[in-house]
Structure 1
Amino acid sequence: MAILQPLIDLAEICYAHGIRHVIISPGSRSAALTLAFSRHDGFEKTVVMDERSAGFIALGMAQQLGAPVVLICTSGSAAYNYAPAVAEAFFQQIPLLILTADRPSEWIHQLDGQTIYQSEIYGKHVKKSYTIPADYSHKDARWMINRSANEAVICTQSIPPGPVHINIPIREPFYPSTGENFAVSPDVRIVKKTESQATLSTEIWHKLLNEWDSFDNILIAGGQYKKSEKLNNSLDKISRELGVPVLGDSISNQSASEEFITYHDLFLPISNSDRLRPELLITYGLSFISKSLKQFLQNNPAVQHWHVSEDDHLVDTFFSITNQIPVSAEYFFENLFDRLDYQHFVQGEDSTNDASFQENWNLANRKFKRLSIQYLNNLTSLNDLTAVNMVVNALPAASQLHLANSMPIRYVNSLGDAVKHLEIFANRGTSGIDGCVSTALGAASITEKPVFLLVGDVAFLYDRNGLLIRPLPDNLKIIVLNNSGGNIFRMIDGPANVPELESYFETRHPFTARRTSEDSNITYYEASNFESLNVVWNQFLSNNTISLLEIFTDPVDNAKAWKDFKNHIAAEW
């Protein structure tokens, strides 16, 4: 038996639970973990030297797989570099299994190299944290390690899924000796958890339907959610046949109906709230992008607010929640429609909802869609807004579009249903700019779909270490909006009006993505006006390897274009 046999068995436990992808960052203290997984034939292994990028690459993979990805790193600050990705995975409910090698506990704070306080290092940003014994000789220690490993993998996937951490103190020697038996224990124990689906009783459904029938003005709003044909079909039926407005930001991936409300980010700040205020609000999904929507619903609270979520955590973004319904959105809305449809059939009547409420939402949505398209189509100069509008409308159907935070996601969200042909992803768990390149890399390495990343120059430069992995996925295309700094601060009234804007907020810089592309062997294109963009666009799309298009714009022009766009539409309304 190998000296570190429980770690060899840990790899087999992960495999038996269906894990197939492992991200490894090089290190010595983690050697036993690295060898346990690298010598196992069942895993796809990716080596990433930068742990911060490694964490987000794993997140992008797990996001696509719907299954845990293993992260392995050495002791010390290496483990801390996973923290941004771990926090993002926690709030996006993405399963990760983080394995951090550590020094034995007696060496903490004894001036020993690469030794920090690693036990529970991620705090509340993991579902659960384990620290296993450093000594494996006693049978109880081996039993505890086996039990913890099985429990940790189960925990990552239990609803709601999320990251789980196992901290692993390892004593020397941690490299196998020549001829040492490096094989899984013949009696390694695998513990499974039977899956179940949450449902609602007939009694609860009767209560919910009675509450539904007591309101005329009902609104359904979706937060960040994976693209789901089943859910979209149910929402489409509820909207068309029951007369209920359904809205969602771009990250809700609502795409089945022309009736869905998608331009709310533009019209809610200036619309008549009395006509649009819901009596019953039903929400599902994770975060919302639109500040306008959040402020509208906070300032006009519904009488009843149902939030459909299997998360135990109570979320009250709009100050109005009255009922958390612990089932999946697919189950809830499919059953809601079927039961209401049957009820109306038995009673011999159509929907009793106030038709004018949905029409008020639809009128505003249609008008602002028309105003938005007309205004943008008449602009002739290249700026961030017009570039994003052109790019989004020209992307091939069924592609994935990954959006960096700051302005790219706000531009796209203002374009309404221009993105309905795309599958939208964004790191809105913590909404940071870190990791967007690496997340897209991880996603592209799993899916066979075309993957596009729309990213600002600062976010791109911040995360370019992700491009050090090999091989890079050929199906990834990166679009960098380079306005020489953090342009969002020019859009915000506070920093936009202070003399320190350029030096301390925008952090103006002269860098481009050209050298990074050359270093990573990425085909590079650039454009600084519509003429050059039109010339290179088809070349960029048709290139059959990973490629990058850098669009250069002026920050002052960008700020003016964005404000003029909002002001023009407000004036027309």
Structure 2
Amino acid sequence: MDPMTDVAQSFAATFVDELAAQGVEFACVSPGSRSAPIAMALQRHPRIKVIVHIDERCGSFFAVGLGKSTGKPAVVLSTSGTAAAEFHPAVVEAAYSRTPLIVITADRPPELQGVGANQAIDQQHLFGTAVRWFVDPGVPVEMPNAARVWRRLAARAVAEAASGPVHLNLPFREPLVPPPGQVPVAEAAPAQALTNGRLLPSQAQLASLASALQRAARPLVVVGEIRDGERLAPALHRLGVPLIAEPTSQLRRAEAGAAVESYEALLRAGWSLQHGPDLVVRLGATPTSRVLNRWLAAAAAPTFLIDPDHSWRDQDHVATNVMACDPQPLLEALPPLDRSAWRDQWVSAGKRATAAIAATLVSTPLHEGHVVRALSSRLPDPGQVFIGSSMPIRAADSFWPLARPQQRFFGNRGASGIDGLVSSGLGVATGRDTVPTVLLLGDLSLYHDMNGLWALQRHGIKATLVVCDNNGGGIFNFLPQAEHQDVFEEIFATPLGLDLSQVARLYGLVYSPVSDRSGLEPAIADAIAAPTPTMVVVRFKREDSVNGHRLIWEATASALKG
């Protein structure tokens, strides 16, 4: 160790250098004093891109978006105190969506804990069970093989963060910065090689599922969110079983074989009551659609839940077989099935439903369905959409047609909150910055994370925002709460009453308002092609959304009876 370099500075330079060596490419940093050693090392490292966020909540959700789009953990760094606590919502989302994330909170040293020192709170296990791994290595000190210990700490953080968040609490004593002109140098140590493999299926697992499929006359595959789900498409195509896949599965596309269009309409129309499965294979997260989940629970068919993370994503307690393994080699090893008549019934019905929806949208009041269809027709290939929680994700599930080969879909479906959606979407855009990115959000979600818009101009991010502005929480109009009119508007609908053109102006976005069906597609197409980030705001009434959905389901039911 250089005798002229403070041990804390040497630790920070060495630790950050190993993060980069292990593949970390991005760090979201919020300003603060106690975190200075790590912040300066990150900023000076040539292989790590630092993205500064004033608001720690925005920074942490941005890092979640980076993790979802790249598959690698981004670092999020804060000073001590309440700044560290601001990370908690994003940590929860990362935990439940299995998103890689490295959380680093700077801290006061032990002698400043519990004595009323400024900005000193108890940060031990601050995020509880939401993190895969927690460590507080103590204040950096000189020791034999220090470089090896420090590098091993960084390498383990990257390895532990492969499928969820980790938390490193790093206390530092003053001085927190080196003398002017002195740049700490990372200490060398033998390389740390760490790899992660996939959990292969056993012969018993393969035999069990293959036997069940051979016996089934009406098998069905249901897929929730899987960020790399497209890798399963060839095996599912070969299997030839009807496939119910939401957009964020990356499998609602022709390449997956028998993907069923507009399945929400089939379920609501009652068609599915005469076409129940006698076997269900579940992949990915729990489906978004409440109607689908209820239908599957009522069908009570034998259900194989395949999950490589040993998780029980089975809210209705219908899984009869839970298989902890990677689904790709399992599906690839299955023999193809000849269930063409059953498959064709579902695929044909989905196409009829899609046609009925398209015909009905021509005459119904403007609502989320129009927005989704317009965006689907104008999204480039390749292109990607970050879909907000609440109504947007449900509208996409109901109305997005088969996607094109290189289109991808993301969302915060781990905890399904409306917080941090702007920031996560911009993190996705930054992680895959060669691909056109659209954020599809509701007006409440936009408002909740309005601070996240600051990153667009600050960091030169190119993204398009499409906002469904129904002046409030439109999803509640579909729920029983809407029947309590005396309290509904104030505590559930919560109308914002904001002029979103002023929001666009504040953050330097082009504002593009839309209030009729004919203007939707041109506005979205122009926004995606524009060199400047654009906010397309689609105004409609919540009541029109409820009526529009009702008319669509009625028209679909009639078409399926004909």
Q: Structure 1, unaligned stretches of length 5 or more?
A: 342-350
Partner of 1:346: none
Range 494-503 or range 400-409, more displaced: 494-503
* Residue 555 of structure 1: how far off its partner (Å): 2.4
Change (3 A) 1:417 1:258: farther
Range 20-29 or range 207-216, more displaced: 207-216
**Percent of matched pairs sharing the same residue:** 25
Change (3 A) 1:378 1:554: closer
Range 52-61 or range 525-534, more displaced: 525-534
Aligned mate of 2:399, from 398, 405, 415? 415
Aligned 8 A contact 1:225 1:285 in 2 = yes
Partner of 1:28: 33
Alignment-mate amino acid for residue 350 of structure 2:
N
Partner of 2:529: 542
TM, length-normalised to structure 2? 0.91
Give, in whole Å, the separation in 1 of the partners of 2:52 and 2:547.
44
* Residue 419 of structure 1: how far off its partner (Å): 4.3
Alignment-mate amino acid for residue 456 of structure 1:
G
Aligned 8 A contact 2:378 2:525 in 1 = no
Change (3 A) 1:109 1:319: same
Change (3 A) 1:370 1:201: same
Give, in whole Å, the separation in 2 of the partners of 1:131 and 1:17.
20
Aligned mate of 2:487, from 495, 500, 503? 500
Aligned mate of 1:516, from 488, 495, 503? 503
Partner of 1:440: 425
* Residue 104 of structure 1: how far off its partner (Å): 2.1
Alignment-mate amino acid for residue 430 of structure 2:
S
Give, in whole Å, the separation in 1 of the partners of 2:522 and 2:295.
42
Aligned 8 A contact 2:74 2:102 in 1 = yes
* Residue 545 of structure 1: how far off its partner (Å): 2.1
Change (3 A) 1:284 1:504: same
For 2:401, what is the secondary structure of its paired residue?
helix
Partner of 2:72: 67
Alignment-mate amino acid for residue 232 of structure 2:
L
Partner of 2:319: 321
1:394 aligns with 2:378: yes
Give, in whole Å, the separation in 2 of the partners of 1:186 and 1:452.
43
Partner of 1:43: 48
Q: CA RMSD in A?
A: 2.4
* Residue 362 of structure 1: how far off its partner (Å): 3.2
Give, in whole Å, the separation in 1 of the partners of 2:317 and 2:485.
33
Aligned mate of 2:137, from 132, 136, 160? 132
Partner of 1:454: 440
Aligned 8 A contact 1:150 1:190 in 2 = no
Change (3 A) 1:556 1:198: closer
For 2:431, what is the secondary structure of its paired residue?
coil
Alignment-mate amino acid for residue 252 of structure 1:
S
For 1:445, what is the secondary structure of its paired residue?
helix
Alignment-mate amino acid for residue 163 of structure 1:
P
* Residue 263 of structure 1: how far off its partner (Å): 2.0
1:55 aligns with 2:60: yes
Give, in whole Å, the separation in 2 of the partners of 1:126 and 1:492.
34
Aligned 8 A contact 1:213 1:352 in 2 = no
Give, in whole Å, the separation in 2 of the partners of 1:417 and 1:439.
24
Q: List per-residue Cα deviations over 1:223-281 (Å, max 9, x = no partner).
A: 10125544212212212xxxx21111122121125731132222224436664332322
Range 118-127 or range 172-181, more displaced: 172-181
Range 144-153 or range 454-463, more displaced: 144-153
Give, in whole Å, the separation in 1 of the partners of 2:391 and 2:28.
30
Change (3 A) 1:66 1:179: same
Give, in whole Å, the separation in 2 of the partners of 1:156 and 1:33.
19
Partner of 1:484: 471
Aligned 8 A contact 1:70 1:99 in 2 = yes
Change (3 A) 1:154 1:227: closer
Change (3 A) 1:204 1:419: closer
Q: List per-residue Cα deviations over 1:254-313 (Å, max 9, x = no partner).
A: 11257311322222244366643323221111231111111111122222x222221022
Aligned mate of 1:335, from 319, 333, 336? 333
* Residue 179 of structure 1: how far off its partner (Å): 5.5
Q: Structure 2, unaligned stretches of length 5 or more?
A: none
Change (3 A) 1:382 1:181: closer
* Residue 139 of structure 1: how far off its partner (Å): 4.3
Aligned 8 A contact 1:61 1:445 in 2 = yes
Partner of 1:217: 218
Range 146-155 or range 14-23, more displaced: 146-155
The within-5 A match list for 1:114-133 is 114-133=119-138
Aligned mate of 2:250, from 250, 253, 267? 253
Give, in whole Å, the separation in 1 of the partners of 2:151 and 2:379.
48
1:89 aligns with 2:94: yes
* Residue 11 of structure 1: how far off its partner (Å): 0.3
Equivalent pairs, count? 550
Alignment-mate amino acid for residue 247 of structure 2:
S
Aligned mate of 2:349, from 364, 372, 375? 364
Q: List per-residue Cα deviations over 1:486-515 (Å, max 9, x = no partner).
A: 121122122343311111111112213222
Partner of 1:164: 166
For 2:472, what is the secondary structure of its paired residue?
coil
Aligned 8 A contact 1:301 1:318 in 2 = no
Give, in whole Å, the separation in 1 of the partners of 2:544 and 2:205.
55
Partner of 1:312: 310
Q: List per-residue Cα deviations over 1:509-567 (Å, max 9, x = no partner).
A: 22132222222222221122235546644432431221111122122222322233334
Change (3 A) 1:143 1:223: same
Range 119-128 or range 554-563, more displaced: 554-563
* Residue 12 of structure 1: how far off its partner (Å): 1.2
Alignment-mate amino acid for residue 351 of structure 2:
R
Aligned 8 A contact 1:478 1:548 in 2 = yes
For 1:13, what is the secondary structure of its paired residue?
helix
Change (3 A) 1:512 1:420: farther
Aligned 8 A contact 1:135 1:141 in 2 = no
Alignment-mate amino acid for residue 441 of structure 2:
V
The within-5 A match list for 1:224-243 is 224-226=225-227, 228-239=229-240
For 2:24, what is the secondary structure of its paired residue?
coil
Range 532-541 or range 327-336, more displaced: 532-541
Aligned 8 A contact 2:105 2:170 in 1 = yes
Change (3 A) 1:320 1:125: same
* Residue 418 of structure 1: how far off its partner (Å): 5.1
Partner of 2:178: 176
Q: List per-residue Cα deviations over 1:98-135 (Å, max 9, x = no partner).
A: 11001123433332221222111111111111111125
Partner of 2:451: 465
Give, in whole Å, the separation in 1 of the partners of 2:500 and 2:272.
45
Aligned 8 A contact 1:130 1:167 in 2 = yes
* Residue 168 of structure 1: how far off its partner (Å): 0.7
Range 106-115 or range 447-456, more displaced: 106-115
Give, in whole Å, the separation in 2 of the partners of 1:274 and 1:468.
49
Q: List per-residue Cα deviations over 1:21-56 (Å, max 9, x = no partner).
A: 111110001011111211222211111111111011
TM, length-normalised to structure 1? 0.89
Give, in whole Å, the separation in 2 of the partners of 1:515 and 1:433.
21
Give, in whole Å, the separation in 1 of the partners of 2:239 and 2:248.
20
For 1:23, what is the secondary structure of its paired residue?
strand
Give, in whole Å, the separation in 2 of the partners of 1:560 and 1:265.
17
Give, in whole Å, the separation in 2 of the partners of 1:442 and 1:233.
29
Aligned 8 A contact 2:374 2:520 in 1 = no
